[in-house]
Amino acid sequence: MNRNSVMMVVVLTVIAGISALILAFVFDFTKDRIAEEYRKDFLKGLIVVLPDFDNEPDKEAVEVDGRMLYPAKKDGKLLAYAVQSVSPKGYSGDIVVLMGVDLEGRVTGIEILKHAETPGLGNKIETPHFRDSFKGLTKDDNIAVKKDGGNIEQFSGATISPRAVCEAVTSGLAFMDKALAEVNK
């Protein structure tokens, strides 16, 4: 190896080391802010899906079968839980749904936390009208799009995304049926 090659390796190593130190510093400086912003966004979702509460559900969460349940309480009285449910059957990948379920197993609301559906078509799953169509439903209701004989409106040209949300809600309600029995022991 000649002298120029060695110098290039040394210079690149020094630059890479300095870059790594800067990145580590920036990460360390911003990680708490990022976590707090994520918490604020998550709390906004909890406010949407749960009845009016006065506790901090994210700080009182309980784990059941590897999933977190977020309790909503008012004046110390338990009203409902929120849980995340995922369907891998979205048109463009996973659809993550945050759903509230009261103590009788009825949906109090849903919020779409993450998806990659087509803008202007599949992303209509985020509209209040679509999300509100799940309120009051239970595991015994036929939670499916009307095209499949259910009671949820799909939108013209986009059935896959609403089907995936229906699947996530159905899965979440099945889990909550077992989880409510577990936490009420």
CA angle, 147 as apex, 135 and 130 as ends, to 5°? 30
Would you say the pTM of this structure is higher than 0.85? no
Q: Which pLDDT value is given to residue 86? A: 87
Q: What share of the chain is helix, strand, coil (3-state, %, to 5)?
A: 45, 25, 30
Q: Which pLDDT value is given to residue 1? A: 66
Q: Which pLDDT value is given to residue 122? A: 67
Helix/strand/coil for 136: coil
Q: Which pLDDT value is given to residue 23? A: 94
Q: Which pLDDT value is given to residue 179? A: 86
Helix/strand/coil for 69: strand
The sheet with strand 77-90 has its strands ordered as: 62-64, 67-74, 77-90, 93-102, 107-114
Helix (H) or strand (E) segment spanning residue 110: strand 107-114
pLDDT by residue, tens only, the chain of 185 residues = 688 888 899 999 999 999 999 999 999 989 999 888 888 888 889 999 999 899 999 889 888 888 899 999 999 999 999 999 988 877 778 888 999 999 999 999 999 888 766 666 666 788 888 899 999 999 999 898 888 888 888 776 677 788 888 999 999 999 998 888 777 66
Amino acid at 102: D
What six digits make up the tokens of 104?
A: 């009788």
Q: Are 117 and 92 in contact (CB under 8 A)?
A: yes
